[in-house]
């Protein structure tokens, strides 16, 4: 029983279970965001940028160039 007790102490001391749960939640959140972008946002944007050019679309605000097309395209 000494080995099992030491293993339980290790799990509690280094909070391994909490880390594993956080990792699983992170994976689920990533999947959720990818689904929202692929199935809700991109179908709304695609008709406004013909020919699939949305992947290279940018928004210029003064000296700043925001590559929103590249941002949304990186989830694919």
Residue for token pair 């909070």: 15
**Domain count for the chain:** 1
pLDDT average, residue stretch 13-33 = 91
Q: What is the pLDDT of residue 75?
A: 54
* Comparison of pLDDT for 12 and 56, the residue scoring more: 12
pTM over 0.95: no
Its domain, for residue 56, covers: 2-73
* Closest by Cα among 40, 43, 72 to 55: 72
Give CA separation, 54 vs 18, 35, 51, 75, in Å.
40, 18, 8, 13
CA distance 39 to 59: 22
Strand, coil or helix: 14: coil
pLDDT tens digits, 58-67 = 889 989 988 8
pLDDT at 22: 94
């Amino acid at each position: 029983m000494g080995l099992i007790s030491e293993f339980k102490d290790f799990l509690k001391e280094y909070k391994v279970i909490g880390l594993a749960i956080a990792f699983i939640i992170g994976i689920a959140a990533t999947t959720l965001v990818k689904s929202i972008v692929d199935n809700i946002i991109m179908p709304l944007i695609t008709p406004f940028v013909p020919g699939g050019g949305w992947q290279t679309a940018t928004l210029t605000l003064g000296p700043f160039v925001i590559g929103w097309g590249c941002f949304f395209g990186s989830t694919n």
